[in-house]
Amino acid sequence: MKIRACGETMVSFCPKKSALFVSLVWFFLLLCFFNMKCPQHNRNFSYPVPRPQRLENAEERFLLDSTAWPETPSLSALLSLDQTTDPAHSSFTILPEKGGRQWHVGDQLEVMIKMYDFQGRPKKFGGDFLLARLHNQSLGAGVAGQVLDHLNGSYSAVFPLLWEGIAQVEVILVHPSEAVTVLQRLTNEKPYTVYFKSVFSSDSVSESTVCNVFLHPSEQPLCNYTDLNTGEPWFCYKPKKLSCDARINHSKGGINKKLKAKEDMLLQSGVNMKVSIHSSGLASVNVLPKLKGQPEVKSSSMKSEPSGYYYKDVWRALDGTTIHQFNTSVDISKCLKGKVIHLYGDSTIRQWFEYLTAALPDLKEFNLHSLRQVGPFLALDYPNNIMVTFRCHGPPLRFTNVLANELHYIANELDGLAGGTNTVVVFGIWSHFSTFPIKMYIRRLQNIRRAVVRLLTRAPGTLVVIRTANPKALNLYETLTNSDWYSLQHDKVLRAIFKGLNVRLVDAWEMVLAHHLPHSLHPQPPIIKNMINVFLSYICPQKSS
């Protein structure tokens, strides 16, 4: 081998640099081995596992911070209702407009809320879960307010004034801060609040075992049904006589009621759960027309505007989107002509399938012999070349008797779509995750987001629409399994994870909160109609007459 001096430009061999050179060669070969960019094979670049994991961990910390709740009190064994938040003693006050002037459209209305306990003593800390809305039922008008916790027992509710006439303030205590302490504990404790079951069957032998996202392997052998593509974990205790391959279905098993002594008194309907707070003075204002040339008054307290509001019972978006009214089957058919609509999620998405099949006489459901709660469903409109499908999301799922081979994860379903300008994807996934730590929900949405990115990359014309969570009626059972407090955390996470992607939201949270109808897990038909109008306006931004 020809040896040149180490100081020369062309170096074939240099003792001081040879070790470094060999190391670099080996490093380069290792990169190729781990499927990184290798020029001679033209492989696509991808990072080793640790870097994406670090990024996801950082994102998880950011998302957890975004859902952080003000510190709530620890509860002692001597818990007394007298020392907890009482909506009957609490009140709100409408703050006067600056300069004592009258209210006009475009102004901001601010309300001060003072919380007291059952003995009438002012609360000294925050953490209560409050909802607020401004409404006028005779006008069919309503808008959600933004509640701000001052961490000292007082709160502000801020509303934009969007219509002329009376605007009535309503403030609701969903949960006292002490109840939030209980809810936080329940989601993080193992075993989790809800458990599930699967039936295993072969020939004449049948067994049922407990299933969940986590089970203690020390108690008995496990069947591991973790999804190979997404990594979503799921386990069942192995049946004594049958193999893991003999699993035939999935069902909700029951609830592990884990309330400690006296904690149920913190979750009493009509006492301290979903109870309206009265006003210490006037509960409404009269809003005059917008002043000409008068700029809108922006509150320093309001961090963001509502996504929309109702007027004459019609939802109007505040982000510039024109919401068209699709009042007839002809209107809907024209919009959906030639479209394939895939609906994924829980029963609140199933409502959309049921609405569309009821609204379109030519959209005929094909009988797949599926259970009505579970699906899957398929509907076809041959004259207009419309197809609508529904499939429930994968576990955890509190449905009854879902066939094991019908447990499909949304991310996998999206990966199976070709997509395109005539494809519309809708999903809503939130309610069935309420009994688990928020980290599990974050992981599920991260998987779905990656699948959405892949879909939009290969088929940029695909429309992706996401339905958010919504408030509901609450009793003790519903609170333990699906409290509005859980739903609010999920709503925050969902919005943060999909922020910046080319997807559209149907803001079910505000559309239910702003409406005069009672809160319900499955919103009533007038609200669903408005949701569908928003959805169809995304598909057909230029509605044909």
Query: Please, what sign has the CA dihedral across residues 489, 491, 495, 497?
Result: positive
The overall longest dimension of the chain from CA atoms, in Å, is: 97
Task: Say how far apart CA 21 and CA 13 lie, in whole Å.
Answer: 10
Tell me 216's DSSP state: -
Alpha carbon separation from 267 to 84, 85, 264, 274 (Å, rounded): 11, 11, 5, 9
Predicted TM-score (pTM) of this structure: 0.88
Task: Say how far apart CA 296 and CA 346 lie, in whole Å.
Answer: 40
Tens of pLDDT along the chain (545 residues) come to: 333 333 333 333 333 333 333 344 344 433 333 333 333 333 232 333 344 677 778 888 889 888 899 999 999 877 899 999 999 999 999 999 877 789 999 999 999 999 999 999 999 999 999 999 999 999 999 999 999 999 999 999 999 999 999 999 999 999 999 999 999 999 988 889 999 999 999 999 999 999 999 998 888 999 999 999 999 999 999 999 999 999 999 999 999 878 999 999 999 999 999 999 999 999 999 999 999 876 655 555 566 789 999 999 999 999 999 999 999 999 999 999 999 999 999 999 999 999 999 999 999 999 999 998 899 999 999 999 999 999 999 999 999 999 999 999 999 999 999 999 999 999 999 999 999 999 999 999 999 999 999 999 999 999 999 999 999 999 999 999 999 999 999 999 999 999 999 999 999 999 999 999 999 999 999 999 999 999 999 999 998 76
Q: How many CA atoms are closer than 13 Å to the CA of 534, on its beta-carbon side?
A: 30
Question: What value does the CA radius of gyration of the chain take, rounded to a whole number of Å?
Answer: 28
Token pair for residue 315?
A: 């939802």
CB 470 within 8 A of CB 488: no
